[in-house]
Structure 1
Amino acid sequence: MTRVASLWRYMAAMPSLVPQPIRIDCVRRAVVLFGLLLGSCGPPPPRGDRIDLVLWKNQVGLDEAAITNVLIDRFNAGQHRWRVIAQSLPQGGYDQSIVAASLAGRMPCIVAVDSPMVARYAWAGHLRPLDGQVSAALLRRVSPAAVGRYGGHAYAVGQFDAALALYTRASILRRMHTRVPTLDRPWTGAEFQTLLERLKAEGAYRYPLDLATRDDKVSWWTYAFSPMLQSFGGDLIDRRTMTSAEGVLNGAPAQAFGAWFQALFAKGLVARAEPDENAFVKARAAIAYSGDWWEPDFRKAWGSDLLVLPPPDFGHGVVIGGGSWQWAISRTCPHPDGAGAFITFMLQDKQIAAMSDASGNVPVTEHAAALSRDFGPHGQSRVFFELMRRFARQRPATPAFPTIANAFTFAMRDVMDGKDVQDSLDDATDDIDRALADTVGVDDRGRARGAR
């Protein structure tokens, strides 16, 4: 069997955050892309007195891509030992390209990793810990959700995060004689439910709440709705042991969450799939649940009438998803000190603030927020920094996360469609427990036990 054929078989069998038809197409693209990049990802020869460090990043929005390139240029210009050379890979086949390169021993030195995938990459031996390369004191300054940890080690760290919020309009709450919730006193679940039902009864909105359920991506459903499960008192897995979902994904609190979620659709409070993503902008919905990335569009539509509010507290505190794209060092990087120097540079408050100003992403340190245009104490977007700082929780740091995300999403879509809540959650729990049993950790060298 050829090396490419072997890689194909391995990647096609990988658990994924996307449904099977999409995954196979991504694998095909990844194999082609990997072949094109294969010759450029090994340790390159020094140019002059400098050592080149290849960096892989996923293709992102134009603003984020542009400022990332600016910061790389700053790093290269600010010292004379290292030269970072960035290569962008298509989002669709990114994970598969990382795996293929690692199996072939052709990983770049620096890789961008989506936060939920850090544990899987560490478990599989694709990454090395940041120990000794990025100081522990520096990592302590960063929001906990922006540090990717596994097995007692930090493996990745990001410059930015995101934050989920409720969006509505002050004029709507005045009309409904409803108080404006605050970070210190969010709506309770009962208050939120009462408002939704009153808005429905008023007749101005066919579906008063937009949950972006038209987006069928596994990443959105897990990021958006597992925090609600946590606020009810459940979770995706038992984080005390990290070995089972039994009792937390299918226990009484999780069943209460599932019943509430199902009732949103049964009562006509949420559309199963809006015709487009502009329900709030077009005034079809009174409230939208979404991320900070929608704030510019919503503010353009509603100006000073716009309110950005914390999600409800369903009994166990407000919870939002935490963790975005982060920088990591590959296990085969021949110059981890250079990669560590680059990551340390990117974590300077000045560089984090520059990223936030250019891209709108939420900065992950207090000092960077203070330096930024919009996230300082009196900035227009300060609420998102506070939401992240107070309420963000990472998704479970386990190599089984792709299966967890798929199982939870399929269960919640079944619940939305009216299927039995208990059966749906039990099925997801069984799938997750099987996956957890297959991911048994790493040995003392960081290599996956039993990995192929």
Structure 2
Amino acid sequence: MLKKLSQTVVSAIVVGGLLAGCSTQSDNGTSATSSSAPKQADSTVKKEDKVKLTFWRNSGNDTENAAYDKLVASFMEKYPNISVEMTPIPYSDYDTKLRVSIASGSPPDIMALDAPTVGSYANAGALKPLTAYFKADGNMEDVPKSTLATYTYQNEIYMAPLTESSIAMFYNKKMFQAKGIPLPSKNPDEPWTWDQVLDAAKKINDPANGIFGIDPAQGFGSAGGTAYFKYPIIWQFGGEIMSPDGTTSKGYLDSAQTKKAIQFFSDLYNKDKVSALEYPPDPFPNGKLGITIDGSWSLTNLKEKFPNFKLGEDYDIAPLPKGTAQAVANGSWALGISSKSKNPDEAWKFVNWVTGHDGQKTYAGMTKDIPSRYSAAKDFPELNEYPKNIFVIQNQKYGRPRPITPIFPQMSDAVNKMFEDVTIGKRNIDASIAEAITTIDKANADVKAQQKK
């Protein structure tokens, strides 16, 4: 979920070689263990045996921590011969400690990872492929294919998803009504086009009184934010960021469709002037912003912090706008198993317990997050009704993985800079894209050179 989304700095893992030494890849680039199936005969722990698993995760809020505590306790009750030692680590320290543990050859058996990091960790051989486990008893059909694709690298699934999140179009209902603008459909399959959104934003826009039409992608914060909010705009216009194998942006980031998307985004600020580089605090609930693209997590934030700004009265939610297609970024935190775990079958039992139907229902029931499984989402009436059904259905039907590549941090930084250069610096779009491609290609070359050492 984006409330915990970070631009995880894993470039040091790959380029610096922290993980390169534990790579298990064969010469053809595929994992040496990719075809190995789970040892079903060994998966049942004998009564006299006691298996201890270590599980590291980033510490969340009190509710998230309580949900994990409950899942661990229920697992050990069902499997008394398997103990799970869970270690919550402060978010700011988590990535560094995990990288160090992997580099030193003593990683935890099970680790929580953010979706965009799968390419880095899998490429370095730090994760055990889970495809065979999923096929055996992971109920793959219960997870959207696009979600599984988010955790797949070189045709192997490396992480098991727990929750999802999504973004949609929040709009000030009273502003729309005052300007005579027809209200958008609440049907997740009937989004407005970006041209319709622009038309509404122009009618609402009133810079002289500090009111702007739209914030299209949560401003210009972290590169992680760019990946989550701005990539969908590229996809919606028919563009792409990288090749399917995640090795280059040449021919993708410089396509006509991608250029059109970036130009449209820049024009919101520079030509149409319906967006601002800076907004006052909380512009949407404070009546200074007509439309904003925001996430499912903001429903709770608006309800708690702005009780007088009411859903259905003051604002409403519509599907994310489209260009030629609907698209939204997917992927959140998920669980992976270390390639060095001495008890991978038992580790899978725990991972499957937490991320299976019952585990997701327990976790989401406490945290109010969106489960990644169809069956778990169906069990919550509020997820099948407006407004949350918009986020759920969008993710299930129109979700897309962010580029799956070992150089995700460098790629995301380059694309973020490209958006900034074109929009804020008003730089030539072709020059900005060319520079981003050069940066991305160099990062890929550095990874390949490191792997040869």
With the shorter chain as reference, the TM-score category is 0.7 to 0.9
Query: Secondary structure of the residue that 2:347 maps to in structure 1?
Result: helix
- In structure 2, how many angstroms separate the alpha carbons of the residues matched to 1:246 and 1:283? 42
Query: Secondary structure of the residue that 2:403 maps to in structure 1?
Result: coil
Residue of 293, 301, 322 corresponding to 2:330? 322
Query: Secondary structure of the residue that 1:236 maps to in structure 2?
Result: coil
Pairwise CA distance, 1:146: 3.5
Provide structure 1 residue ranges, at least 5 long, that are not aligned to the other structure. 1-8, 17-45, 442-447
Residue of 224, 227, 237 corresponding to 2:229? 224
Note the alpha carbon deviations across 1:327-351, whole angstroms, 9 max, x for none: 0000111100111000111133222
Comparing 416-425 with 292-301, greater Cα deviation is found at 292-301
Q: Aligned residue for 2:140?
A: 139
Q: Aligned residue for 2:412?
A: 405
Counterparts of 1:290-329 in structure 2, within 5 Å, are 290-299=294-303, 300=307, 301-305=309-313, 306-315=315-324, 317-329=325-337
Pairwise CA distance, 1:212: 5.7
Pairwise CA distance, 1:214: 4.7
- Tell me whether 1:173 sits opposite 2:176 in the alignment: yes
Comparing 299-308 with 217-226, greater Cα deviation is found at 299-308
Query: Secondary structure of the residue that 2:419 maps to in structure 1?
Result: helix
Residue of 268, 275, 292 corresponding to 1:270? 275
Pairwise CA distance, 1:196: 1.0
Counterparts of 1:235-246 in structure 2, within 5 Å, are 235-239=240-244, 241-246=245-250
Query: Secondary structure of the residue that 1:52 maps to in structure 2?
Result: strand
Q: Aligned residue for 1:253?
A: 257
- In structure 2, how many angstroms separate the alpha carbons of the residues matched to 1:91 and 1:338? 26
Note the alpha carbon deviations across 1:282-317, whole angstroms, 9 max, x for none: 1111111111110123344223223221111112x1
Q: Aligned residue for 2:423?
A: 416
- In structure 2, how many angstroms separate the alpha carbons of the residues matched to 1:186 and 1:346? 34
Q: Match of 1:226, as an amino acid?
A: Y
Change in CA separation of 1:380 and 1:285 when aligned onto 2, cut-off 3 Å: closer
- Tell me whether 1:395 sits opposite 2:402 in the alignment: yes
CA RMSD of superposed structures (Å): 2.7
- In structure 1, how many angstroms separate the alpha carbons of the residues matched to 2:415 and 2:17? 14
Query: Secondary structure of the residue that 2:235 maps to in structure 1?
Result: helix
Pairwise CA distance, 1:14: 4.7
Comparing 385-394 with 88-97, greater Cα deviation is found at 88-97
Q: Aligned residue for 2:195?
A: 190
Pairwise CA distance, 1:184: 2.2
8 A contact 1:71–1:346 mirrored in 2: yes
Change in CA separation of 1:224 and 1:95 when aligned onto 2, cut-off 3 Å: same
Identity of matched residues, %:
21
8 A contact 1:207–1:284 mirrored in 2: yes
Pairwise CA distance, 1:192: 1.2
- In structure 2, how many angstroms separate the alpha carbons of the residues matched to 1:263 and 1:234? 17
Q: Match of 1:138, as an amino acid?
A: N
- In structure 1, how many angstroms separate the alpha carbons of the residues matched to 2:196 and 2:387? 27
Q: Aligned residue for 2:92?
A: 92
Note the alpha carbon deviations across 1:89-114, whole angstroms, 9 max, x for none: 22233333222211211100000011
Q: Aligned residue for 1:279?
A: 283
8 A contact 1:310–1:318 mirrored in 2: no
Pairwise CA distance, 1:208: 2.0
- In structure 1, how many angstroms separate the alpha carbons of the residues matched to 2:417 and 2:62? 32
TM-score computed with the length of structure 1 as normaliser: 0.83
Q: Match of 2:163, as an amino acid?
A: F
Pairwise CA distance, 1:188: 1.2
Q: Match of 2:323, as an amino acid?
A: F
Counterparts of 1:16-31 in structure 2, within 5 Å, are none
Change in CA separation of 1:15 and 1:49 when aligned onto 2, cut-off 3 Å: closer
Q: Aligned residue for 1:385?
A: 392
Query: Secondary structure of the residue that 2:239 maps to in structure 1?
Result: coil
Change in CA separation of 1:146 and 1:326 when aligned onto 2, cut-off 3 Å: farther
TM-score computed with the length of structure 2 as normaliser: 0.82
Provide structure 2 residue ranges, at least 5 long, that are not aligned to the other structure. 1-10, 19-45
Change in CA separation of 1:408 and 1:77 when aligned onto 2, cut-off 3 Å: same
Query: Secondary structure of the residue that 1:127 maps to in structure 2?
Result: coil
- Tell me whether 1:150 sits opposite 2:153 in the alignment: yes
8 A contact 1:146–1:160 mirrored in 2: no
